[in-house]
Amino acid sequence: MAVKKAMTKAQIADAIATKAEITKKLAATIIDDIAALAYKEAKNGFTLPGLGKLVLVQRKARKGRNPQTGAVIKIPAKKVVKFRVAKACKDAVLGK
């Protein structure tokens, strides 16, 4: 049984181009523009309706452990990017 791989950008652009009846090049440009806009607006929260929201989260400093030596180490606070999946997406993918 073959394992199905994730779609590539070219495959996504092709599917969008076919559905919207536009060129593949235009579809790829739209994908790039959405990604660039998401990167720019992530600090304010960027929502893709029906898919989810890209948010910037501040993690607190915490203690961790070096797995090789077992020594306790301090992990500094940092900002991370998270994607919160929309309920509509969860329901569509997982079923109700």
What confidence tens digit (pLDDT) does each residue in 30-72 have?
A: 999 999 999 999 889 999 999 999 999 999 999 999 999 999 9
Nearest to 52 by CA among 90, 11, 21: 90
For residue 1, is pLDDT > 70?
no
Question: What pLDDT, on a 0 to 100 scale, did the predictor assign at position 3?
Answer: 77
Model confidence band, residue 7 (pLDDT cutoffs 50, 70, 90): very high
Is the pLDDT at 74 greater than 80, yes or no? yes
* Cβ–Cβ under 8 Å, residues 38 and 54: yes
| pLDDT, averaged across the chain | 93
Residue with tokens 């779609």: 7
pTM: 0.75
> Between 96 and 16, whose confidence is greater?
16
Q: Where are the domains of the chain?
A: 8-42, 45-96
CA dist 45 to 22, 52, 59, 64, 84, Å? Answer: 29, 10, 16, 29, 10
Just give the CATH number of 45-96: 4.10.520.10
Identify residue 85 by its one-letter amino acid code: V
